[in-house]
Structure 1
Amino acid sequence: MSIAERLAEVREEIRAAAVKAGRDPDGVRLVAVSKTRPTEEVRQCFQAGQLVFGENYVQELQAKAAGLSEPVEWHFIGHLQSNKVKYIAGIVGMIHSVDRLSLAQEISRQWGRLGKSCDLLVQVNVSGEATKSGATAEEARRLVQEIALLPNLRVRGLMTMPPFFDDPTAARPYFAELRRLSERIAAAGIPGVEMRELSMGMSGDFEAAIQEGATLVRIGTAIFGTRDRGPGAG
């Protein structure tokens, strides 16, 4: 099966999951996770109609962005070190994985140098797993308040990665917790903050995520085929 055919299947599954949940399918965007995949596969996926691509590694993102003339929208979804922010400044449309103030400050600095602003999501470790990045729920609310005071940044929502389960429905309570946290932060009325995005759900559990309000689902394996698992992606 070709990338275009798999992409069409995934899109139909997303549409069906949204309809089943009583949601507008247009309210769920697909982030095609292209980490470790060659640039040519990204091009094929773009030609099949996919616009947004998620990358986990700075160097790989740089190389692909330089190698593609197509107007793709890049999202950075992996763990990001502050000293590497400068290499993706102005290239990515959104960073999903902001989990500390020092990182947000560096993003603000680097985008400010370009006279631009960066959309970002605060990553929340809803499961409390030591192996996962992300702020706790309590830290996330405070972090959003602190980031809102920085120039050149726009907080657009939250991101999480639940534990891995053989039964994808087992992840649903974690998605529900992120949604509730988003609602609490939105209710706080923090100036400049919009809780409009929930980045959650991967190849194995995106239907459960959509049922709990996901607006961005990060899917790689179901589109590009199997590869080594890594943070931030499915």
Structure 2
Amino acid sequence: MVKENLKEVEEKITAACERAGRDRNEVTLIAVSKTKPMEMIEEAYSAGKRDFGENKAQEMKEKHDALPDDIKWHFIGHLQTNKVKYVVGRATLIHSVDSLHLAEAIEKESEKKNLVSDILIEVNVACEESKFGLKTDEVEKLVRDVAKLPHLRVKGLMTIAPFVENAEENRNIFRELKALSVDIAAKNIDNISMDILSMGMTGDYEVAVEEGATLVRVGTGIFGERNYSI
């Protein structure tokens, strides 16, 4: 099942790129494996997938330490400062930085481990109270503050769009994040790039790709419904 689903999602990404006149190589599919057993990750791995997303620090640590070294782990959940030690050095990219306090904790752990951590700034474009992330008008200040931290590199922006039945309803959300990234990139802030846009999930990733996503995070569309009782 996993292999077939992966193929279908990849084909839909390719079609979305064609509609938008984009190079397919610009978009990476992250298989969101949170709450899923290692066997399912291994099935996706054997089908060629190398980018996986987790939203709990300790779960990511366990999977990282048990599975092949060439997997790129993306930390996509809300990260508490006391869990930073599990993520730094294991995550290829931390998608969910939304405060200077968290950025400083990642900086401190990165310095301790003598490495540089790549991060994205999480933006709550839709201003949903139930979600983490900055408002769009708060992003530039945090980017400028984080730019001063030598063991962090801001690589772009991330958003979690609202859950909608019709993906078209989120098109403006994705468009707004893309515009914000272009605006920040134009300011040429040292140590900051806006190369990555992490947006789009199972229900709306095709629209996200059409609007400029470079990373899409698909879980249910690959692994089936999540088990929330874990």
TM range (shorter): over 0.9
5 Å-filtered alignment, 1:114-133, equals: 114-133=113-132
Alignment-derived partner of residue 100 in structure 1: 99
* 5+ residue gaps, structure 2: none
Alignment-derived partner of residue 220 in structure 1: 219
Alignment-derived partner of residue 51 in structure 2: 52
Classify the secondary structure of the residue corresponding to 2:15.
helix
Q: What TM-score, normalized by structure 2, do the two folds share?
A: 0.97
Q: Please say if residues 43 and 70 of structure 1, whose CA atoms lie closer than 8 Å, have aligned partners that are also in contact.
A: no
Aligned length: 228
Structure 2: distance between partners of 1:167 and 1:175: 14
Q: Please say if residues 28 and 214 of structure 1, whose CA atoms lie closer than 8 Å, have aligned partners that are also in contact.
A: yes
The one-letter amino acid paired with 1:156 is K
Q: C-alpha deviations, 1:66-100, integer Å up to 9, x for none? A: 22135200010000001110112201100000000
Alignment-derived partner of residue 38 in structure 2: 39
How many angstroms does 1:228 deviate by? 4.7
Alignment-derived partner of residue 11 in structure 1: 10
How many angstroms does 1:139 deviate by? 1.0
Q: C-alpha deviations, 1:96-124, integer Å up to 9, x for none? A: 00000010011111111111101100000
Alignment-derived partner of residue 164 in structure 2: 165
Structure 2: distance between partners of 1:228 and 1:204: 18
The one-letter amino acid paired with 1:58 is A
Deviates more, 1:175-184 or 1:67-76: 67-76
Classify the secondary structure of the residue corresponding to 1:194.
strand
Structure 1: distance between partners of 2:173 and 2:68: 38
The one-letter amino acid paired with 2:38 is T
The one-letter amino acid paired with 1:56 is N
Q: C-alpha deviations, 1:150-179, integer Å up to 9, x for none? A: 011110000001111111111000000000
Alignment-derived partner of residue 232 in structure 1: none
Alignment-derived partner of residue 86 in structure 1: 85
Q: What TM-score, normalized by structure 1, do the two folds share?
A: 0.95
Pairwise CA RMSD of aligned residues?
1.0
Structure 2: distance between partners of 1:108 and 1:115: 10
Alignment-derived partner of residue 153 in structure 1: 152
Alignment-derived partner of residue 196 in structure 2: 197
